[in-house]
Amino acid sequence: MLLQMNAEAAFKIFEQTILDYHKTDDVDAPMKNPHPEGSLEALLYRKNWIDTVQWHLEDIVREPTIDPIEGLALKRRIDSSNQDRTNVVELVDDMYIEMLKDSRPATDARLNTESPGWAMDRLSILALKIYHMKEQVERTDASAEHIQKCQTKLNVLMEQKSDLIRAFDELIEDIRAGKRFAKVYRQMKMYNDESLNPVLYAKSKN
């Protein structure tokens, strides 16, 4: 199954995840992952669910009249979501490392700037941008000028989708052929780690 997973198939999973979320459009709704546990499909669904919920949390927290205490709680939730997002991307990378473990880079193989997992992250966010830009294009309460501006942006996003899907599949093909290789560097985020964030470890000494 992993060997057959290309970027277009992954994008379809992201699209379905977004549609499933919008059945309730509730940031507290439970995720109902339709894919087999432990599969790449399930991991990509989970990845995009995190992104979709966070997208809407970012909308909510920008309400100008939001209660400051509620706003802080949301920012903390977004911070936690960012960590979850990073963790899942690294799990996606682990799967691609396993999938490509038999590939051997040639002596003149070129190093890619990002790993497959982070390329999938970009594709997941792009799916969200396309969905919500289409919403703007289809609004009936907006001006013609607004609709046209959003349509122009949507056209660019669709081109980006085509380019990113092609680039991802070419990356995987090149890695398999030994023409390119990608290193996986863990994010090593410091602000959530009590031993690395100076504000947190200073508190622990008091």
Burial of residue 60, with CB atoms counted within 10 A of its CB: 0-12 exposed, 13-18 middle, 19 or more buried:
middle
The residues spanned by each domain of the chain are 2-196
What is the reported pLDDT for 2?
46
Q: How many helices (H) and strands (E) does the chain have?
A: 6, 2
Confidence check: pLDDT of 147 > 60: yes
Instruction: Output the pLDDT for position 197.
Output: 73
Three-state SS string over 59-101 comes to HHHCCCCCCHHHHHHHHHHHHHHHHHHHHHHHHHHHHHHHHCC
pLDDT above 80 (res 199):
no
Residue-wise pLDDT for 118-127, tens only, equals: 999 999 999 9
Q: Are 130 and 161 in contact (CB under 8 A)?
A: yes
Q: pLDDT category, 183, cuts 50, 70, 90?
A: confident
For 41-90, write each residue's pLDDT tens digit.
999 999 999 999 999 999 999 999 999 999 999 999 999 999 999 999 99
Q: Residue 48: its pLDDT value, please?
A: 98
Q: What is the pLDDT of residue 3?
A: 45
